[in-house]
Structure 1
């Protein structure tokens, strides 16, 4: 259920999303240095799930109406894909650092643009293809394959970029059929269920100040993905 094309609004939402995600990633890097990645992502998803269920319960028709999707299997796959991507990316922060991980992860919009034509049937003009080509050259410069300085850890954020690009394409696809709140609901609940199955086995006690950081991480996570889904609409 698309709200229609509005390029300027889409750009503004993407900028806002990037700012929110940048802050979120900094907090994730801090917490991942002290605690298990799966536990961090699990707690973040718990808050996300509570948030989306609370919002859904206040809508007309309640949770059942909001959860009603024209493409439920795609929504489930999206939710699982994002949970895996977050775990991979936070792992990349611990292996490679925040700055270099983001430099490689920056390839994801290029992947979305390159695949939007064959997968979504959207028109990709020559100017966009030129920008994509230049962008990928920049990514290769960062990776430095064949120069004797290749760091295998850069593959981790690159995998995260591929996963997030796929998530973005699927988000754009389901936005044609489902409302924003439906996609956000499935993203939060599916991810929470998946991460609980994994994360409970890696629980670690957390000190008081880090719980404050975790709370901020949870809030930025929910806000960031809501903005992203609105952007793809």
Structure 2
């Protein structure tokens, strides 16, 4: 298998692992407090990140950063985004939540203009506008039965978009390992107090679900790292939308969710707009990274 083929295969497996992770989260958050579920997940995340750094003899170095407030801020932002999105899974289901959350790459592109000074041309701005139109199709504001709860995954997408841009900003001075460790530890510290405050006794069988959540989350992170070791981001990024497909399948087959026509149509618009933006951002052979910036 070529590097490109291996990268695509790894990205597909990564999205499957992340969709299964969301399925575990939806089940556990439906039975127990979201704060507690996310707290335990972050305890494992922090232990994994610190263990990885320690195994490389770089634990102390991983905490060294010239921008501690930036690292802590992006870690807190990511933590809050996870809490909101997991809560949305329990209220809206996996399929509908992910259909709205799929707007994230478009939001990231828009925020990058403001924070990183990246350039976006008229066609990509139109794609971003089309993506928001797709979300409006999904949300159907003003329609009978509309609930403001549906805005939760949209808020989560905006938060993750800002987190992604801040991560790229941190990468200018810090290693990936430093950002990884700060994300895990900051989240674990932030979640411990509310998680313990809302602690609920967990049935023995559900500890198995929790172990599955932590295990598949670790697998997803490992596959994600391996994906970008095997192939360039521009090649594999379009396959990230498979998480929506896998999560929807889990929602329908495991949790009995239904896919309304407006959700399918709206998600299709969002995905098409996102793919256009990703492909326009990829430099053509011989182009520099900024040559396609105004496309």
Match of 2:37 in 1: 40
8 Å contact 1:21–1:221 — kept in the other structure?
yes
Q: Kindly tell me: are residues 9 and 69 of structure 1, through their superposed partners in 2, closer, same or farther at Cα, counting changes over 3 Å? A: farther
Q: 1: distance between equivalents of 2:14 and 2:59?
A: 26
CA deviations on 1:23-57 (whole Å, 9 max, x unpaired) are 21111001111111111000001111111111111
Confirm or deny that 1:204 pairs with 2:200.
Answer: yes
Secondary structure in structure 1 of the residue aligned to 2:202: coil
Q: 2: distance between equivalents of 1:116 and 1:19?
A: 27
Confirm or deny that 1:136 pairs with 2:138.
Answer: no
Secondary structure in structure 2 of the residue aligned to 1:146: coil
Q: 1: distance between equivalents of 2:117 and 2:49?
A: 31
Match of 1:218 in 2: 214
Q: 2: distance between equivalents of 1:75 and 1:16?
A: 28
Q: Kindly tell me: are residues 12 and 104 of structure 1, through their superposed partners in 2, closer, same or farther at Cα, counting changes over 3 Å? A: same
Bigger Cα displacement from structure 2, 142-151 vs 164-173: 142-151
Confirm or deny that 1:54 pairs with 2:75.
Answer: no
CA deviations on 1:102-125 (whole Å, 9 max, x unpaired) are 111111111001121221122223
Q: 1: distance between equivalents of 2:36 and 2:202?
A: 10
Root mean square deviation of aligned Cα: 2.6
Q: Kindly tell me: are residues 203 and 149 of structure 1, through their superposed partners in 2, closer, same or farther at Cα, counting changes over 3 Å? A: closer
TM-score normalised by structure 1 residue count: 0.86
Match of 2:86 in 1: 90
Q: 2: distance between equivalents of 1:203 and 1:213?
A: 17
Q: Kindly tell me: are residues 178 and 119 of structure 1, through their superposed partners in 2, closer, same or farther at Cα, counting changes over 3 Å? A: same
Mind listing any 5+ residue stretches in structure 2 that lack a counterpart? 235-295
Aligned 1:1-233 pairs, distance under 5 A = 17-60=14-57, 62-224=58-220, 227=224
Q: 1: distance between equivalents of 2:7 and 2:77?
A: 23
Q: 2: distance between equivalents of 1:166 and 1:191?
A: 16
Give the aligned length: 225
TM-score normalised by structure 2 residue count: 0.69
Q: Kindly tell me: are residues 133 and 8 of structure 1, through their superposed partners in 2, closer, same or farther at Cα, counting changes over 3 Å? A: farther
